[in-house]
Structure 1
């Protein structure tokens, strides 16, 4: 089980805060630092001092970290043209020495589009399919050859398909709860499938759908990594768990039911249950980015006991 740190900077974080978290995650031995891709806060948070851009952030972290992998859950397809995104991700991958992963989703939060004048198309899923085909197609085109794509939403003609990422294949993540089209997209384009904030039953059901879709597309189900994203709230005792839950405005019992919460032993048991239904990687949603002791506790008391 690979533990990764997953942050939500739109709730209020500077680049310096994210850098501290990423460096701490690297020092404590986590597998990756991931961030969301949003421009507007959600819920009761004030969002101050304002949003940071996902790929601008990751470009900075690429130069200021050394080992930890870097990525998005999920880059919003509505924010970037696919050709531009392919260039951005390839460049950040080069800047990091080949440590980047791209989670790409359709974009869903209409209010942030309205707030910043970003078009919010209705046919987002069809666009996402073409975006995945273009981004991966550009990267896979051999140097010296050109890439052409004639889709309903995007057209590229004789692209030199440059630059190339440092990695031979940048891991691409597709995720979600959709029963048919989402598993099919994962089977066609992804190296990892992620289901966010899902129960054990929903996780098991969705992983099977993705595995079946992979077989239908001529791949082995084992070709993909299967992962979850869940909020994390761990404490050495009940008081510490409650303090951390209060800091993020959540109820302890609700967190235990829907996330990874409680003592290290309780969280280990919960992770083992997800592992039993096929989860291989866990994105720990850290909502209090100033609590680096939380990261250290998980690294010391949870991670060493995972297979």
Structure 2
């Protein structure tokens, strides 16, 4: 069972903070450090000092960590042209020695687009499909060959399809709760399917949809990794859980209902409930990035029980 640390820097974190958390992630034995890809805060926070760019951050972390996997949940398909993004991700993969995993989503937060002058197209899922085709096509084109693509939204002609990633295949993550098109895209392109902030029952239903879509596409359902992203709030006792919940502006009962919260034993049990639905990987959404003791507790009393 892989436990990965997942951060939301748009809520207020500079690069040095993210570096500190990434190094703790590595030192404490977690599998990976992931971050969101957003340019605007959400909810009741000032968001200071302001956003950091996901792929610039990961490029820095690629040179300052040695073991952990690095990636995004999810890179916004609206932020970058697919050809440019393929270059960026391949370069960061080479900078990391082959430790990048690539989550790509359609983009959904209209306000951040308005705030920074980024177009917010209506046909986001159709664009995402073409982006996946372009990016994976560029990476898969043999050295010395060229890549062409003639889509509705993107056209490439005689691309040298360089640089190549360090990995023979960068793992591609697709996620969401869509009932039809999302599972179909995952069946065609994904190595991992991620379910964001969903109940045990809803996770099981979505995993079932993706497994069926994979088989319909001629793949084995077990060819994909199935994962959950869930907020985490663990404490040695009730008082510590309450303190950590208050620090992120959440209620304990709500966190227990919708995330991984409570004592280490409660969280281990909750992970087991998701595992029974087919999940083998968990992205722990850590919202208080100053609380490194929280990571140490999760590592010593949760990770060791489910690893």
Q: Which residue of 1 aligns with 2:67?
A: 67
Equivalent residue number for residue 99 of structure 1: 99
Return the alpha-carbon distance in structure 1 between the equivalents of residues 80 and 280 of structure 2. 30
Partner of 2:8: 8
Hey, what does 1:186 align to over in structure 2?
Answer: 186
The CA deviation at 1:115 is: 0.3
Please state how far the C-alpha of 1:251 moved relative to its aligned partner.
Answer: 0.1
Deviation at 1:53, TM superposition (A): 0.1
Moved over 3 A (4+): none
Residue in 2 aligned with 1:273? Answer: 273
1:108-153 residue CA offsets vs partner (Å, 9 max, x unmatched): 0000000000000010000000000100000000001111000000
Structure 1 equivalent of residue 76 of structure 2: 76
> How far apart, in 2, do the equivalents of 1:245 and 1:9 lie?
18
1:118 equivalent in structure 2: 118
Q: 1:207 is paired with a residue of what secondary structure?
A: helix
Which residue of the partner structure matches residue 297 of structure 2?
297
* TM-score (normalizing by structure 2): 1.00
Give 1:232 shift: 0.1
Superposed, which structure 2 residues align to 1:83-162 within 5 Å?
A: 83-162=83-162
Structure 2: distance between partners of 1:299 and 1:242: 20
What residue number does 1:221 align with? 221
User: SS state of the match for residue 118, structure 2?
Assistant: coil
Cα distance in 1, alignment partners of residues 184 and 158 from structure 2: 28
Aligned length: 307
RMSD: 0.4
- The correspondence of residues 38-77 of structure 1 with structure 2, limited to 5 A, is 38-77=38-77
Structure 2 residue aligned with 1:18: 18
Following the alignment from structure 2 to structure 1, what is the Cα–Cα distance between the partners of residues 123 and 17? 36
Whole-angstrom distance in 2 between the partners of 1:118 and 1:9: 19
1:186 is displaced (CA, Å) by 0.3
Alignment deviations for residues 70-96 of structure 1 (CA, whole Å, 9 cap, x no partner): 000000000000000000000000000
Q: Secondary structure of 1:41's match?
A: coil
Structure 2 residues without counterparts, runs of 5 or longer: none
Separation (CA, whole Å) in 2 of partners of 1:239 and 1:221 = 43
> Residue 23 of structure 1: CA displacement?
0.2
Residues 7-39 of structure 1, C-alpha deviation per residue, up to 9 Å, x if partnerless?
Answer: 000000000000000000000010000000000
Where structure 1 has 5 or more consecutive residues not aligned to the other structure, the ranges are none
TM-score by length of 1: 1.00
